[in-house]
Structure 1
Amino acid sequence: MTDTDVAPAVPARPPKAPSRSRRRAWSVTALLVVFMMINFADKSVLGLAADPIREDLGLSASAFGLANSAFFLLFSLCGAAVGLLADRVRPKWLLLTMAVLWSVSQAPLALGGGLAALIASRIVLGAAEGPAFPVAQQATLSWFPNHRRNLPGALIVMGTTFGVVLAAPAVTWLVEHHGWRSAFAAVAVVGVLWAALWVVLGAEGPYAADPAAASPDVPATGTAPRRVPYRRILGTRTWIGSTAAYFSSYWVAAFVLVWLPSYLQEGLGYSSASSARLLVLVWGLTAAVILGQAALTGWLMRRGATSRWARGRVGGILLLVAASACLALPSAPSGTATVLLLVTGFGFAGAMVSVAVTTVTEMAPAERRGGALGFMNAVVTTAGLIAPVLVGHLVDLHGPSGYDQAVLITGALLLMGGIAAVTLIDPRRDGHLLSL
């Protein structure tokens, strides 16, 4: 048998997609950005309306933290289960089901109910939102080859920041003028509208089933791909490093969503209006950093840099910058220095989310991507289960100074995550090992 008898599994560089396909790819990406905006608007409502909810329902900081942690009770489990399901069921229908369940879960709080209704509603919402990010990323990246995935992957992450940036002023206005229950009704209606659009416009792309999405880092073998056991993927240094780094980023997201408004007001003495502006500034910087990271990573990869450098080390360095800011924040003088450290510490951490997802997507075989991302999301989102309860407990024990202790814990986690990203992530190496 000669070399010409075996056709390569994928070309070294995929052919240029026709303009119609490119337009469809970006249309689907835009719709999934909105999907993630709604996802994080749903998450942020409880934090943005924290004070009136706690006052109306008579909740302590620990009880309010417990209600927020209830959101993550099934979040991780469903993230892993639906991640596995995404390797067998079309992501279009999984995403549609999630969006419908989000809206249904908001109804009890929109219509009335106390602490029990709040906890039950958050558990259902968490179960429906747990798989959202990995499945949305899987659906989006199916439209792009590996060397073009940095920007669309980053845009999906930026959807999470846009959701909070838009939700912060809107929810604040609704709460002040129509009560906190109106905010839950509003996000429920938006979810239904998105679901209707997705039925018509949603689809998976042409790179959904290829072995490596034409990645130049993964050699073509000319043979049908073996089904790699999940345990081998989860045991790679790249998966472990990406997951550890992503965990620290998610911890920051949980802190910001649930407790940052209260920290700004109770811990740092800002008014509610100033707190809303600072919250928008944090999420705005997060979006800018995510976009900048995607641009830098894409530029490095086009010039021949491996993902170890372009993704792992760029993301890891951003985490180390965030860690330094958080560790310095509690001892900083009030004023400009506090604002700069706070915005940097919480704003720089978000870029690792996009890095972790695109890195694992690059490394994992196509038929295992949904599960690999789902398991990563399941581990990472346990941060959302732990962080709200821990911060609430520290605040109940130590008052406003409890926030400072929480920020120091956050800085330590970011430091460990940054080190893991810099030292462990290498998808070319681990992708090759998985192909053997």
Structure 2
Amino acid sequence: MVTSARAGETVLPVGREPWPPRSRLIVFLLALFIMLAFGDKAILGLVGTPMMEDLGLTNAQFGLIGSSFSLLFCFTAIAVGLLGNRISPRWLLAGLALVWSVAQLPVLLPVVGFAGLVGTRILLGAGEGPALPLASHTAFTWVPVRSRALAAALLAVGGGAGIIVGAPLLMLAIQAWGWRAPFGILGALGLVWAVAWLALGGAGPHFYAAPGTTAGNALPTGSRRTPGKAAGDAPDPASGALPPETAPPAGETPGRTQGEPAATLPERLPYRRVFAQGTWWGAVLAGFTVSWMLGLALTWLPTYLEEQAGYSPQTVSLLVGLPSIGSIVSILTAGLVTDRLLRRGASRHVAYGVVPAVALVAGGIALFAMSRVGAGWPLLAAMAIGFSAGPALTPLANAAMAEISPPAQRAAVLATAHAFVTTGSVASPFVSGLIVDLASSESVGFTAALDLAAVLLLVGAALAATAIRPDRHAARLASG
């Protein structure tokens, strides 16, 4: 039979296929969603040089445009996270994609200058603030507990793919139609995704129906309710969302899958108790350092490669994909290593804390080296490692926080964490631009900005390795 590990959450027994076709389709659509989100973030860096020349912007002004993107992340991430406990992600995610499109399209107008760009980036960021935690929460409703890290890793890969695939294509659009054109292209793609999601997307069989949630909200599109089951229960197997119910194999503890934590959390907990756990605040503070690094990369890396390293715009559009390729490798590797560690009985502390800490150390060392190794392949190698190792933390941190979150509150817990994490991206573009403006030369300024990001990553590594312990903290919460 299909059993419940936590109130309101269904898990699959070991030995059954945990990723049926519909689950794979949903995770794929969510990866495309994150792919578009990262394309929206990356476009500013690609248009940086022509935009600054056209509008006469200083480095600090351009950095302020970059920082404005994350200004409302904190507020919208928390607000939508709370809504995610009650409203189907089918509607929430489609609404976010619509906001992206509305924010992008006005940039096509020539009258939109510095103030207009700040305003549209604020609106765009407001729509993208809840994107990753809500997409992660939605993916978690379609996969068993032990596959959460892998599902989160696949979503993070979508972000890297957005830059790898999108940057060269968007650069072609810039060269053909000017720096405003890519904003319109991304706005149109957001509308296309929203239509596809409304037709195919929805919540999965592990969706927890908070009180007041309607059955139509809780169940995915095309699923049939089984008589006697409450909203949020697994849909009828005939819907294709779950394989037929079977008994757990011999030796398997009823109600748990291999790699699932032993602690059974209450149906609801005070948020202050969840947020007081080292797993939550350790993931948030370590994530802040990664967010700082990503804000620096997305806003300033193309300009650095063009103006400091001497690469052409066409070459830059290809080179900015190197960290994304590295991110895909690091994220998938960390996800697979974590999955294997958990299968072999390793602690959550090792899987979700130590593994990403190693990645952060590698990233910090590489960023220190980036401005000191000279041009050519040494620079590109340091850049690829420095900006790609850290993102391995994100899916593992999300999975760790999910371990200490009751299903009814998981969306809000993840969204609140994401809100604080992304303050790093709010500050780093502007602070880095200010550092460059105030330095004796741009070269000295960029070196200082890279060194600051490196130090933060090393601090984040120490926090991840010592504070993220979901085994201990879930047991503490379960015991009351």
Check whether TM > 0.5: yes
Q: Distance in 1 between matches of 2:395 and 2:285?
A: 14
Distance apart, 1:334 and its partner CA: 3.1
Q: 2:383 aligns with which of 331, 334, 342?
A: 342
Whether 1:262 and 2:306 are equivalent positions in the alignment is: no
Q: How does 1:44-63 map to 2 (within 5 A)?
A: 44-63=42-61
Question: Do residues 219 (structure 1) and 263 (structure 2) align?
Answer: yes
User: Is the Cα contact below 8 Å between 1:145 and 1:213 reproduced in 2?
Assistant: no
Maintained 8 Å contact 1:143/1:204: yes
Partner residue of 2:13? 15
Indicate whether 1:290 and 2:288 are aligned.
no
Show the 5 A alignment for 1:349-360.
349-360=390-401
CA contact (8 A) 2:84 2:134 kept: yes
Aligned-residue sequence identity (percent) comes to: 34
Q: Which amino acid aligns with 1:181?
A: R
CA distance in 1: counterparts of 2:115 and 2:5, whole angstroms: 58
> Residues of 2 paired with 1:78 and 1:220: CA distance?
30
Deviations 1:261-285 (A, max 9, x none): 0111222222223322221111111
Residue 213 of structure 1 deviates from its aligned partner by 8.2
Q: Deviations over 1:188-245 (max 9, x none)?
A: 1100000000011011111222899866313348xxx342111111110111111112
Shift of 1:250: 1.3
- Partner Cα separation in structure 1 for residue 161 and residue 429 of structure 2: 22
Q: 1:4 maps to which residue?
A: none
Q: Is the 8 A contact 1:165 1:283 kept in 2?
A: yes
RMSD of equivalent CA atoms: 2.2
1:370 to 411, 417, 426: 411
Q: Residue 291 and residue 345 in structure 1: after superposition, are their counterparts in 2 closer, same or farther (change >3 A)?
A: same
Q: Tell me, in whole angstroms, the C-alpha distance in 1 between the residues paired with 2:51 and 2:276.
A: 43
Give me the whole-angstrom Cα distance separating, in 2, the residues matched to 1:121 and 1:63.
15
**Residues matched between the structures, number:** 427
> Which whole-Å CA distance do the structure 1 matches of 2:100 and 2:436 have between them?
30
Cα distance in 1 for partners of 2:5, 2:455 equals 47
Matched, 1:138 2:162: no
- Code of the residue aligned with 1:298 in structure 2: it is D
Residues 296 and 20 of structure 1, relative CA distance in 2, 3 Å threshold = closer
1:173 maps to 2:169:
no
| Unpaired runs of at least 5, structure 1 | 1-6
Letter in 2 for 1:391: S
1:306-345 matches, cutoff 5 A: 306-345=347-386
C-alpha separation in 2, matches of 1:368 and 1:197: 27
Deviates more, 1:210-219 or 1:68-77: 210-219
Partner Cα separation in structure 2 for residue 136 and residue 38 of structure 1: 13
User: 148-157 vs 321-330, which deviates more?
Assistant: 321-330
Q: Superposed, which structure 2 residues align to 1:407-418 within 5 Å?
A: 407-418=450-461
C-alpha distance in 2 between matches for 1:153 and 1:226: 23
Task: Specify whether residues 18 and 200 from structure 1 end up closer, same or farther in structure 2 by C-alpha distance, changes over 3 A only.
Answer: farther
Aligned equivalents of 2:17, 2:5: Cα separation in 1 = 26
1:96–1:195 Cα contact (<8 Å) kept: yes
SS of the equivalent of 1:216 reads coil
Q: CA deviation at 1:169?
A: 0.2
The alpha carbon displacement at 1:18 in A equals 7.6
Give 1:336 deviation, angstroms.
2.7
- Matched residue, 2:446: 403
Q: Compute the displacement of 1:12 (Å).
A: 11
Task: Point out where structure 2 has 5 or more consecutive residues left out of the alignment.
Answer: 209-231, 234-254
3-state SS of paired residue (2:463): helix
For 2:197, the equivalent position in structure 1 comes to 198
1:36 is aligned to 34
Aligned residue type for 1:402: G
Q: How much does 1:300 deviate?
A: 0.8
- TM-score, normalised on structure 2? 0.85
**What per-residue deviation string (whole Å, max 9, x for no partner) do you get for residues 285-310 of structure 1?**
11111111111111111111121111
Distance across 1 between alignment mates of 2:349 and 2:6: 24
Q: Secondary structure of 1:207's match?
A: coil
Using the alignment, how far apart are the partners of 1:9 and 1:123 within structure 2? 38
Note if contact 2:263-2:474 (Cα within 8 Å) is conserved in structure 1. Answer: no
* Secondary structure of the structure 2 residue equivalent to 1:333: coil
The answer (yes or no) to whether the contact 1:230–1:371 under 8 Å persists in 2 is no
Distance 1:403 1:219 in 2: 47
SS at match of 1:400: helix
Amino acid of the structure 2 residue aligned with 1:76 = C
8 A contact 1:87–1:367 mirrored in 2? yes
Residue number in structure 2 paired with 1:76:
74
2:203 is paired with a residue of what secondary structure?
A: coil
Decide whether the 8 Å contact of 1:207 with 1:213 is kept in 2: no
Contact persistence 1:323–1:410 (CA under 8 A): yes
Tell me which residue corresponds to 2:185: 186
Paired amino acid for 1:30 = F
Q: Structure 1 CA distance, aligned partners of 2:283 and 2:31?
A: 22
Give distance in 1, aligned partners of 2:10 and 2:413: 24
Cross-structure match for 1:147: 146
Which range is displaced more, 415-424 or 269-278?
269-278
Deviation of 1:14 (Å): 2.7
Letter of the 1:269 counterpart: G
- Give, in angstroms, the shift of residue 331 of structure 1: 2.5
Cα distance in 1 between the residues matched to 2:401 and 2:315: 39
Q: Using the TM superposition, name which of 317-326 and 13-22 deviates more.
A: 13-22
Relative distance call for 1:16 and 1:56 in structure 2 (3 A) is: same
Q: How does 1:52-131 map to 2 (within 5 A)?
A: 52-112=50-110, 113-131=112-130
Q: 1:21 to 1:392 in 2, by over 3 A?
A: closer
In the alignment, what sits opposite 1:3? none
- Correspondent of 2:463 among 382, 401, 420: 420
